[in-house]
Amino acid sequence: MKVLIGCPTSFHKEYCLKEYSEAVKALNYDVLLVDNSPNDDYFNKIKKLNLNVIKGPYFGGALDRIINSRNILREYVLEKNYDYLFSLEQ
């Protein structure tokens, strides 16, 4: 069974990034975050923690950012033939 743990994220969640990183790594599944922050600062912090991350587009509204990021995760799961996407929010 192939499972991806995925989550949209942005710089708003930086306060818990370290703890989140440690927790998802302990689950021993593939992890992918989609950063929808307005610049690359948070993306680079995620990379430094050795988490897989994709840079998604920034939209002015939070709902648009979340919808787009979830669609990126869905497409990734389908492309890579995962059986499940487990959305584990930050």
Yes or no: say if 20 and 32 are a contact pair by the CB < 8 Å rule: no
Contacting residues for 63 by C-beta, under 8 A, at least 6 apart: none
Q: Report the predicted TM-score, pTM, of the whole model to 2 decimal places.
A: 0.94
Can you tell me the mean pLDDT for 68-76? 98
pLDDT at position 33, please?
98
Count of positions (residues) in the chain: 90
pLDDT at position 3, please?
97
* Alpha carbons 43 and 11: distance in angstroms, whole number: 8
pLDDT at position 45, please?
98
Contacting residues for 11 by C-beta, under 8 A, at least 6 apart: 37, 38, 41, 42
Question: What does the pLDDT look like over 2-57, one tens digit per residue?
Answer: 999 999 999 999 999 999 999 999 999 999 999 999 999 999 999 999 999 999 99
